[in-house]
Structure 1
């Protein structure tokens, strides 16, 4: 009997010891900034204008990576890579088009290209398929509470975070940026600002929501996926912060936008809110934190009369295959694994986070699951790590500064090779080779001098494309050398000259812009983001045009808009003679606030004509929320 009691007691003791030796898995907080460039933080010593004290605070707790790369120079491909550990080359998500209505789940070869292009871009995927294992699904399967906060941009329902492993999704918004603006009121479908904070900043609200969720789940492991809206367009911020930084502008500094500086500060403040919460709840010592960005800084939009930011000393920025497009800030804080306040120059990429977290948390991959990334846990532990190549696939050519035709790249050690698909003679590829240790700005192409190295690195690219079963660009059979202008590569085109898919009814109308709902843009570039038409004049007389039919003489146009600083007016044309057009009184634009402009249309009873809404021709962005036409017969409204 004594032996039985002893055995039972020993079993109980061993069980207790075993339980004591198995602490709860650490929490995971993944913070992803949007469009935050490598030089946009104080982590690397390349900015004197932006302030990021909370990122420095995080860096003192963890490891800062000097050579962290996004999977793509654009956002949605990188987001898919973080969640799946798979390259965009494999998933087919290669552009940020996941908010568009078309559902495309498989990449296919492209059909056509203009005669000036040597290759045809493939047709990309528009949704993250729900059958992929994701980081959220893996953590949820072992008992983690999972919450997604902020931007998603991987698909509408039924492809939202809720079907990709997240219990909670706030604000459950599928679009590419904050709905309307950063400062409330917003235009989210079912999410509004706090009633007592009428001009609340979206990151303040997101951090508040995330804090409340952490408090709710503090007693069990949680995975907080905070994908910030900041610092993506539209470019606006707290007025007080804009004015604060306006007084600090140095005209000689390439980073000189006070609005962007204010956006960076609000982003950093949100990071500080999360750190404060973890400290207050005594969770910091048991929480892994990853901070990074989805691509490089935006160097082609316009804000405050300049570009939003500069990625100097890197070349290029968002939407380019140069370092400025894909090298991003990164800090990993992992108590008990990472030595605080350390740095690593080991390259890592978006595809690595998922397998690294599974490895460090002791969670096996799903049966048959594959990764294009790999665990960098040895790096986090300060151990040696074998050099391996990193790949980035971007088969598109958006017309931004330093753009390239459809390309793929490989990093190995200090060397970087870019293959431009079919960019050479007779459908051969063209190559750019850079020694990043000696030439961080990618100014000297060494491909001709180091042809053997080019062949060696290109064989790695070929193996990568074969392994990931990539749908590649194909030679353009309509290519016409007479239309080819290689000197234009890397030079942005005017916004209103950008090629865009058109409806059959619009093919003969170069001013028809998808999303403008019948309005035609002239002398300006237009893009639709979150229900707002963002307009930038490219001529001395930018305007929107529309043919409303016969008017009864008692008509007016109401426009909700902001931006610009010049004058606008209504023009009514009843014939071919533009000089005889009747004009309304001019109105002054207001840059900072949404204003409803009520404009009388100078039409006479029974007239048919063309209505033109002339916009300020100062080159500054003008945002139009909606347009409403009021007549005696009723009203018509266009919500973009």
Structure 2
């Protein structure tokens, strides 16, 4: 079932680096926009058996039959911009420097991305589809203005929707963006706007055809070089627009949708009447038209998956290509779409923008013939930022130090022990103009119907999920659920003995694994201020201490050398008094010297990516960001409680420790004395 080459392959995947590029599989990451967990074929097929309204999607069903369904995979946020920001930068929302909440079209930080990681592994990279995290302007941005344009963030090639709102329009030429200064939806091919040539080009067809063309050309130009493609669809998001006609006959290199590349006819389906075709299996149903449209959009995506897979088979690279299919958040309720009709949120409560399971537990299938067990299901909890560590392992390179994820290869290959990841989410719906409350659907828990979303937070510790909404202060209690036994979150455990024990642990954990947001855009201001931002990060309690602490010496500072050559050291820092602190670090001026520091589990100091050895970095969250306001950004220190704090140092390219400095608010900057550090004895 696992394939005869599984065990030697796993050894290769866990070895860094690979010995030959041919051993590395291609990777295609397919991201849907607002596709719900309940849209998975396993759930919809059950509805069909029960005689309920349901969607029938052979392509999705085949994908699940040939791959592994991750039933407890979470987006990083219940909204597209922060979800995509975290996905592509490999950090959870507590560490995103720029993209949190509704910060559409701000520029993701100049940090490692999925693209740069795969480039470092020798991959050819492309992003085809929606971006929305590139900066420049909120609407009608350009490659010249956008400091985080995809080709500046690790992608060799880009085609698609640059700004967020353009990605709401499935016919970019015929359905212009009314709030854009240019009154059009921008489609970019490299640095050229091609909207004027997109006559009758339906989004799913346009993006799929361009992706197929890129795959074929890339493979034929250099069959030995692996490729990484991020295909980010804008379906099934509103508008609820549908194709001009049926999916073309056949699939693959010579069939299905085809990229023609001709002005005014970019794809072979650019003909007929726009926004007109309902799939025959739905046309005669006595369903609301909006639901027929939604079902048709999912059907079109389903067909496109078959088309891509056949393309890989035609090129004889199917068995050497990993396909990851997922969605950015839960289902939407826009443009007439009613997620109650098909129960797109599955057996859970919540939709897009909710912290409940339906809001950001997302459909996820991974297909890799001969390696990922076909038809398998796995319920290990994981989250978007795990994909960076996973792709780094596939590519045979070190995951960036700042990555918050863990490799999912033990799960995907059904071999070895899967490490637990960091599952965390914070989001605020306060800025949403019309979506400030959870819908009042009758199948939701009564207390959640029409409840104010406000500031939302989620954390996993062991088997327990802690969640709180409409947060007023850090003292607010978490609702606590065992989402394996209780996936619908019906039985709050906070008043049980175990729940009461978990409550202070969750309160402390959430402060120890996030940083205060401190990015300010000159025109759009600052986002993502939280009610718990000013709370001091708690020091270790007596029961959390590692036992005996001994003074730091050259010998005791020796760390653990990993297989990838990097070093990890766990020190303990004694903070002399409660207050707000800014930290600084400098590595030796040795070539390729890199370092990264976490305080507890929060990012503190980053001298890894684009770092010049021997220079000083600070704990400012404004470092490595673009388009910011330097007078107002990166000025917030870290509030710390008096006592001992884990100080975890990862280094590469030099022996010994970096130099560390700190400055208490209102005081002078000083080197941190060696006696302030200890190690476990």
Match of 1:456 among 473, 481, 502: 502
Whole-angstrom distance in 2 between the partners of 1:183 and 1:248: 29
1:390 & 1:417 partners in 2: Cα distance?
A: 10
Partners of 1:295 and 1:344 in 2: CA distance: 19
2:128 corresponding residue in structure 1: 149
Residue 148 of structure 2, aligned match among 150, 159, 164: 159
- Cα pair distance change 1:182/1:428, threshold 3 Å: same
Aligned counterpart, 1:35: 34
Q: CA 1:337–1:19 in 2, change beyond 3 Å: closer, same or farther?
A: closer
Q: How does 1:63-212 map to 2 (within 5 A)?
A: 63-92=68-97, 93-99=99-105, 126-129=106-109, 131-156=110-135, 157-178=146-167, 180-182=169-171, 185-186=174-175, 187-189=184-186, 190-192=193-195, 198-212=199-213
Change (3 A) 1:193 1:61: farther
The change in CA–CA distance for 1:461 and 1:25 in structure 2 (over 3 A counts) is: farther
Quote the offset at 1:235 in angstroms.
1.4
* Structure 2 residue aligned with 1:410: 459
Contact kept? 2:331, 2:339, Cα under 8 Å: no
Match of 1:419 in 2: 468
The count of corresponding residues between Structure 1 and Structure 2 is 423
1:31 is paired with a residue whose SS is strand
**Structure 1 counterpart of 2:513:** 467
Displacement after TM superposition at 1:437 (Å) = 3.6
Give the Cα separation in 1 of the matches to 2:516 and 2:165: 25
- Partner Cα separation in structure 2 for residue 65 and residue 357 of structure 1: 16
Deviation sequence 1:351-377 (CA, Å, 0-9, x none): 1011011113311234xx222111121
Contact 1:41–1:52 (Cα < 8 Å) also in 2: no
Alpha-carbon offset, residue 223 of structure 1? 0.8
Give the whole-Å Cα distance in 2 for the aligned partners of 1:476 and 1:143.
41
Which among 398, 410, 414 is matched to residue 364 of structure 1?
Answer: 398
- State the distance in 2 between where 1:23 and 1:373 align: 26
**Secondary structure at the residue paired with 1:393?**
strand
Distance 1:413 1:301, change over 3 A: farther
Query: Structure 1 246/184 Cα, relative in aligned 2: closer, same or farther at 3 Å?
Result: farther
The secondary structure found in structure 2 opposite 1:339 is coil
Check the 8 A contact 2:279/2:296 in 1, yes or no.
yes
| Aligned counterpart, 1:287 | 321
- Per the TM alignment, residue 406 of structure 1 is displaced from its structure 2 partner at its CA by 0.7
- In the alignment, structure 1 residue 435 sits paired with structure 2 residue 414: no
Give the superposition deviation at 1:325. 0.2
Q: 2: CA distance between counterparts of 1:147 and 1:158?
A: 18
Distance in 1, matches of 2:499 and 2:485, equals 16
Report the counterpart of residue 395 of structure 1 in structure 2: 428
* Residue number in structure 2 paired with 1:373: 405
Cα distance change, pair 470–459 in 1 and its aligned pair in 2 (3 A): farther
Contact 2:203 2:233 (C-alpha < 8 Å) held by counterparts: no
- CA offset at residue 127 of structure 1? 2.2
Measure the CA separation in 2 of the matches of 1:306 and 1:207. Answer: 29
CA distance in 1, matches of 2:325, 2:469: 31
Asked if structure 2 preserves the Cα contact closer than 8 Å seen for 1:421 and 1:473, the reply is no
Residues 194 and 341 of structure 1: is their aligned pair in 2 closer, same or farther, counting only changes over 3 Å?
A: farther
Q: In 2, Cα distance between the equivalents of 1:256 and 1:346?
A: 35
The match for 1:385 among 397, 401, 418 is 418
Distance 1:21 1:191, change over 3 A: closer
Q: CA 1:457–1:151 in structure 2 vs 1: closer, same or farther (change >3 Å)?
A: farther
Measured after TM superposition, the shift of residue 153 of structure 1 is: 1.0
CA–CA separation in structure 2 for the residues paired with 1:241 and 1:60: 26
SS at match of 2:405: coil
- 1:453 and 1:65 mapped to 2: Cα distance? 27
- 1:227 is displaced (CA, Å) by 0.5
Question: Which 5+ residue runs of structure 1 have no aligned equivalent?
Answer: 1-17, 100-125, 478-640
- Tell whether the 8 Å contact from 1:177 to 1:233 is kept in structure 2 after alignment: no
Q: In the TM superposition, what are the counterparts of 1:244-259 in structure 2 within 5 Å? A: 244-249=281-286, 257-259=291-293
Larger radius of gyration: 1
1:423/1:430 contact within 8 Å kept: no
2:41 is the counterpart of 1:50? no
Deviation at residue 314 of structure 1 after TM alignment: 0.8
Match runs of 1:540-559 below 5 Å: none
In the alignment, which residue of structure 1 is the partner of 2:6?
none
Report the CA distance shift for 1:165/1:183 in structure 2 as closer, same or farther (over 3 A): closer
- Partner Cα distance (1:20, 1:72) in 2: 37
8 Å CA contact 1:299–1:307 kept in 2: the answer is no
Give 1:223's match in structure 2, choosing from 225, 228, 250.
228
- 3-state SS of the aligned residue for 2:385? helix
Q: Distance in 2 between matches of 1:97 and 1:21?
A: 41
Distance 1:146 1:387, change over 3 A: closer
Contact 2:94 2:513 in 1 (8 A): no
Check conservation: 2:118, 2:391, Cα contact below 8 A. Answer: no
* Cα distance change, pair 169–307 in 1 and its aligned pair in 2 (3 A): farther
